[in-house]
Amino acid sequence: MGPATSTVARSAAAAAALLGAAGLALAGAPSASADGVHGVHGVGALRNATAPASCRHPATRLVGYHRDFGSEGSVRLLKRHAVFGRLGSSHRSVGIAPLECDAGGVLWPMLIAVYGSGPQLLGTVDLRHIPHAQEHEDVRSLRLSHRTLLVRFVGYDGAGFDLHHHRATLNWRHGHLRWHLTD
């Protein structure tokens, strides 16, 4: 490791420490720890996470954020939307990311997965089970604010000409995920 790399690593570590003190982390942050003391920090901790059974696929371990089932489809963790921090009454940082699943090339409604240390899958919200779910329910953004996850997603059928925009909150109370569709 050269002097420039060493300086970047120290700066990144200092930034991660400041964020950690605030109970936050950024997707793509250089830290990839998923220890039992601090929870999940950084998208690297989710690289080989477990994906629940979805769109006719069994539960599986991702390899590099992705699992391919050949002609049967695939499942992938959308790391660009991953967020990290404390959720609800959780005392440790969790990682939250949407999972995109397809069966033979046809996308299904996304899932929102919450991961604890390890990373252990703590729970999911399957957007195909929301009231009036459509053929596609795609996460547009996830944001943690005051220990509550703010979710924006869009539903549509077919080619997506009639878009239905939704907002929801997700929280963690007494060991369970609490989902509330706000509009």
- CA-based nearest residue to 91, from 112, 113, 116: 116
Q: Residue 59 corresponds to which tokens in the numbers above?
A: 């539960």
**pLDDT score, position 34:** 36
* Alpha carbon distance 101, 103 (integer Å): 7
Give the tokens for residue 174: 């007494």
Identify the pLDDT of residue 177: 92
C-alpha distances in Å from residue 68, one per residue of 2, 34, 49, 53, 148:
38, 25, 14, 13, 32
Beta-bridge partners for 33: none
Q: In whole angstroms, what is the distance from residue 149 CA to residue 114 CA?
A: 11
For tokens 């963690």, the residue is 172
- How far CA 118 is from CA of 48, 69, 87, 170, in Å, comes to 10, 24, 17, 21
For residue 28, what pLDDT is reported?
34
Closest residue by Cα to residue 44 from 58, 59, 33 = 33
pLDDT value of position 159: 78
For the chain, 183 residues long, give each residue's pLDDT as a single digit of tens.
444 433 333 333 333 333 333 333 333 333 333 334 467 888 999 999 999 999 889 999 999 999 999 999 999 999 999 999 999 988 889 999 999 999 988 899 999 999 999 999 999 999 999 888 889 999 999 999 999 999 999 999 887 788 999 999 999 988 889 999 998
pLDDT, position 38: 60
CA distance 21 to 182: 30
Interatomic CA distance for residues 170 and 129, integer angstroms = 15
Residue with tokens 């007494």: 174
